[in-house]
Amino acid sequence: MRTLLSSVLLLAASLLPFSAFADRQVTDQLGRQVTLPDRVDRVVVLQHQTLNLLVQLDATKTVVGILSNWKQQLGDGYQRLAPELTTLPTLGDLTHVDVEKLVALHPQVVFVTNYAPQEMIDQIQNLGIAVIAISLRADDKQQSRLNPVLANEEQAYNEGLKEGIRLIGQVVNHPQQAEALIKATFSQRQLTAERLKTIPVSQRIRVYMANPDFTTYGSGKYTGLMMAHAGALNVAAATVKGYKQVSMEQILAWDPQVIFVQDRYPQVIDEINQQPAWQAVDAVKNHRVYLMPEYAKAWGYPMPEALALGELWMAKKLYPEKFRDIDMQKKADEWYQRFYRTHYTGSNE
């Protein structure tokens, strides 16, 4: 049976369109030189951040297969933004791929996360399919790590996001869309910074990001930068490296003034409101537990709308008096019309 499967895979690999038309090279975010066809119009995406970026680059038509848990990773409402994703084959996740399904799709490129196992990358490459790793971090010493220790988080994620968007745009032949997305992403931040500059560190609000199973983001993740840009103090920054589980006792000791919950994890709001232990936390006592809108993607990795919209939304929630004139519904709708080609219909509360 194994011999038969191997023969099928080798035959399928020989039929893939990649090898006959390889005539350009790119460098992925692991620093690997990858040879690609001049025109790429069939990609498989095994990383949700890259999938979200491809949708915003208006390159969804190039996607022929996606990761199995994309709805969980992107949120249940994401299918409204890209309904075509619901009909695509699913064939793996961040750390594994179904090789038989992959071969059947005849992709030219597979996008993977920076911490995808080397065996998985080798499996795909051995079929003659190009593999592009995306980290969204500009840090050549720790690119394959899930929880890095970064000397300069700001630079690593700012430059890494730009590099990642440009690389994805280059692979799928959408370079102009990539530059437009980068420009829109970084132009908004100055407004938020100007309005917060008079708030001393000692008066900044203590914030906790509540994820399922008592997990949270500390230092080394974009979420901490998101909080900092919004004028918040991430209570987990000093003791949590990366993305980890913490205890209820630790949360009680931090006693955050505000708790944010990502749009993709609404069940966490119910847990916080219903479980007795949470009722002693300042944020819960003062009803400052907020479910973030879908565009405020407080993931460990940066997304364009998180920088352009999410940080501003968070700042407005923390310091409403400084942002009374900002209409988040209008700003979100403008972004969605431009990059998702639809109206924003969600809530900003």
Q: What percent of the chain has pLDDT over 90?
A: 83
Using CA atoms, how far residue 119 sits from 35, 123, 269, in Å, is 19, 6, 38
- Which class in CATH covers the domain with range 2-187? alpha beta
Largest CA distance in the chain: 69
Topology, domain 197-340: Rossmann fold (3.40.50)
Closest residue by Cα to residue 304 from 54, 72, 60, 114: 54
Residue 306 backbone zone (phi > 0: left; psi -120 to 50: alpha; other: beta): alpha
Please determine, for residue 182, whether its predicted confidence score (pLDDT) is greater than 90. yes
Please determine, for residue 74, whether its predicted confidence score (pLDDT) is greater than 50. yes
Name 166's Cβ contacts closer than 8 Å, sequence gap at least 6. 175, 178, 179, 182
Higher pLDDT, 221 or 206: 206
Query: pTM value?
Result: 0.87
User: What's the residue count for the chain?
Assistant: 349
Angle between helices 189-196 and 222-229 (to 10 degrees): 60
**Domain positions in the chain:** 2-187, 197-340
Q: How confident is the model at residue 347 (pLDDT cuts 50, 70, 90)?
A: confident
Give CA–CA dist 187/189, Å, rounded.
Answer: 6
pLDDT digits 0-9 by tens, 17-66: 444 455 899 999 999 999 999 999 999 999 999 999 999 999 999 999 99
User: Which structure tokens are listed for 335?
Assistant: 């972004």
Closest residue by Cα to residue 339 from 61, 46, 52, 40: 52
Please determine, for residue 136, whether its predicted confidence score (pLDDT) is greater than 50. yes
Question: Do the domains spanning 2-187 and 197-340 agree at the CATH topology level?
Answer: yes
pLDDT digits 0-9 by tens, 220-239: 889 999 999 999 999 999 99
Give the containing element (helix H, strand E) for 123: helix 118-125
Q: How confident is the model at residue 76 (pLDDT cuts 50, 70, 90)?
A: confident
Higher pLDDT, 15 or 283: 283
According to DSSP, the β-strands at 258-261 and 205-209 are parallel
Give CA–CA dist 181/188, Å, rounded.
Answer: 12
Q: Which residue has the tokens 């890494």?
A: 160
| Residue 234 three-state SS | strand
